Structure 1
Amino acid sequence: MGILSWILFGLIAGAIAKFILPGRDPGGIIVTILLGIVGGFLGGWIGSQVTGGGVTGFNLMSFVWAVVGSVILLAIYRLIFHRSHA
């Protein structure tokens, strides 16, 4: 899968992560989109570690792992940001 596909995949995964974890995000929509993209890569890495194989192509399990990575990253970002400004 090309880098452009992963970015698109991450954008969609980030939107779903935002739906799963609603609320105001520190940094706004741009930071949320970037977290979604990076979360997609994180989810792909986690998926490859758990399943023992790489994440292959644009399929349902790849999408699930991308959403999982995005949710994890968004939650960590919120914890760090809110803790430093609380």
Structure 2
Amino acid sequence: MLGLIISLIVIGLIAGALARLLVPGKQDIGIPMTILIGIIGSFVGGFLGYLIFHKDKQDGFFQPAGIVGSVIGAIIVLLIYMRVSGRTAVRR
């Protein structure tokens, strides 16, 4: 159980950080919010992957497609968060 929690945090951090790098502009959010966006994005990416490819965790937990799906889900969640919270990305 502890391993699952740690892996969720690490994958959430990686996916959230990559999403913040890929979305243009500056996002004024901290590391905990980046991790949360990555974790939620991982669930969104996994759900979208299941809908599109009909694969689930029984095919393997740590797959490159899962990481890519997590990043895509984190980008979607970050864009929704920026829209809902009223924060705008400032181009520099």
Report if TM-score (shorter chain) is over 0.5.
Answer: yes
Does 2:35 correspond to 1:33?
Answer: yes
Distance 2:27 2:12 in 1: 17
The ranges of structure 1 where at least 4 consecutive aligned residues each deviate by more than 4 angstroms after the TM superposition are none
- TM-score scaled to structure 1, two decimals? 0.79
Identity %: 40
1:29-72 residue CA offsets vs partner (Å, 9 max, x unmatched):
32222111111111111111111111432111011100010000
> In the alignment, is the contact (CA less than 8 A) between 1:21 and 1:71 conserved in 2?
yes
Does 2:79 correspond to 1:70?
Answer: no
Distance 1:74 1:32 in 2: 9
1:3-40 residue CA offsets vs partner (Å, 9 max, x unmatched):
43233212111110011014332543322221111111
Structure with higher helix content: 1
Unpaired segments of 5 or more residues in structure 2?
Answer: 88-92
- TM-score scaled to structure 2, two decimals? 0.75
Letter in 2 for 1:18: R
CA RMSD of aligned residues (A): 2.0
SS of residue matched to 2:86: helix
Letter in 2 for 1:58: F
Unpaired segments of 5 or more residues in structure 1?
Answer: none
Select between 22-31 and 36-45 the one with higher mean Cα deviation. Answer: 22-31
